[in-house]
A = this chain, B = another copy of it.
Amino acid sequence: VNTEPGEVTVTNGTQQALDLVARVLLAPGDRVAVEDPGYVPPRLLFQSLGLQVTGVPVDGEGLIVDAIPRNTKLVYVTPSHQYPLGMAMSLPRRIALLAWADRQNAAIIEDDYDSEFRFGGRPIEPLQTLDTTGRVIYVGSFSKTMLPTLRLGFLVTPASICDAVHAAKYVTDWHTPLPTQNALAAFIDQGWLARHTRKMRTVYQERHEKILDFVDAHFAAHLSLVPSAAGLHISALAKTMSSTEIEEWVQRAAADGVAVQALSMFRVADRAMAGLVLGYGAIPVSRIDAGLRILRHARTTGATRSR
């Protein structure tokens, strides 16, 4: 990320970063585009501010830029690890999105969550680094690398809106608490965050691969994994089941004590994708096989029951 100190604003996580940007750039009735399927809390925020929120479909390369509606003032994307599907936005698509923003005089919020947990492969340049015309607002979070309850994230804003973002933060809540900021700053300065991230990258990669292996071995007839090389979750598209059947499967698994999510939970428009989101941020690798066996059982018992 290219930046100067004055262009960074510490926020209470990603959610407040988006709120500050919306306060500065948008007015009620303005159109905002989000990914569909996509991360839900930003959409709820934008809707609560009276904005017109449109879901734009994604494909294997990320957001389909040509599908962004006219008169969109801002687009919110997760290019490193599309939430919830998990693929990275391709370089051509990033370049197309930047060109779109420039043409439309629009802004892009790049939510770079999970970029710290990349399991090989070369990272693609962030939109923020590719941007030459000050269109991109970059959002980072310590919720995944550290702890969500810390509520620590940050914004990197183009110079043109720094003062306005700082003013928006001031009127909102003055500043993010200094005790937590100071603790994190010491943690970073002493090299602990880098060490923690390195360690957890190995841990998460092991869990990631464990899930890949199980899905390949036991769900190949029903699920197709979305290629992904980063993060704390993996998604799989249904080959044979409808989104309703997936939702029922998820409910049965939950009743058996295994928490997975239906992809349809993340839809914006009516077009629900049928699939599963498998999170592994909080499960030890030793318990993954047992959990997935329960998930497998919940699928077939359900099929039997419903006949």
A residues with CB within 8 A of B: 11-13, 15-16, 19, 23, 27-28, 41, 44-45, 48, 148-152, 167-168, 170-180, 183
Contacts and interface: CB of A to CB of B under 8 A. Distances in A.
A13 B174 contact: yes
B177 A151 contact: yes
A13 B171 CA distance: 11
Contacts of A150: 177-179
A149 B175 CA distance: 8
A13 B173 contact: yes
Residue of A41, A172, A178 ringed by the most chain B CB atoms within 10 A: A172
Identical chains bound together, number: 2
A13 B179 CA distance: 14
Contacts of A168: 48
Contact of A19 (B44, B149, B171, B177): B171
A10 to B, nearest CB: 12
5 contacts: A12-B173, A16-B172, A23-B48, A41-B174, A44-B170
B177 A149 contact: yes
A229 to B, nearest CB: 28
A174 B180 CA distance: 16
A145 to B, nearest CB: 16
Residue of A12, A150, A180 ringed by the most chain B CB atoms within 10 A: A12
A177 to B, nearest CB: 4
B15 A171 contact: yes
